[in-house]
Amino acid sequence: MSTIEGRKLDPMVTSENSNEGFNAISHIVAAVLGLVGLVFLIVFSAI
């Protein structure tokens, strides 16, 4: 079983001080806002 403890992290992908929790929440919020915008677009185009 391999772990990522000894590997060097790519700074373009992640860093030691990156806030992974905030990134996850912000991506979820962005996805929800995108879906809401899509629903509004469909609803108002049907009117």
Please give the average per-residue pLDDT across 15-42, as a whole number.
Answer: 89
Q: Is residue 2 in some structural domain?
A: no
**Is 4 part of any domain?**
no
Q: What pTM, to 2 d.p., does this model score?
A: 0.56
Residue 12 amino acid letter: M
Predicted pLDDT of residue 23:
86
| Structural domain that includes position 22 | 11-46
Per-residue tokens: 43: 């609803």
Question: How much is the pLDDT for 22?
Answer: 85
Residue 25 lies in a domain: yes
Residue 8 phi, psi (nearest 5): -85, 130
Residue 24 lies in a domain: yes
Asked if residue 6 belongs to a domain, the reply is no
Total of domains in the chain: 1
**Whole-number Cα distances in Å, 29 to 2, 8, 14, 25, 34:** 32, 30, 20, 6, 9
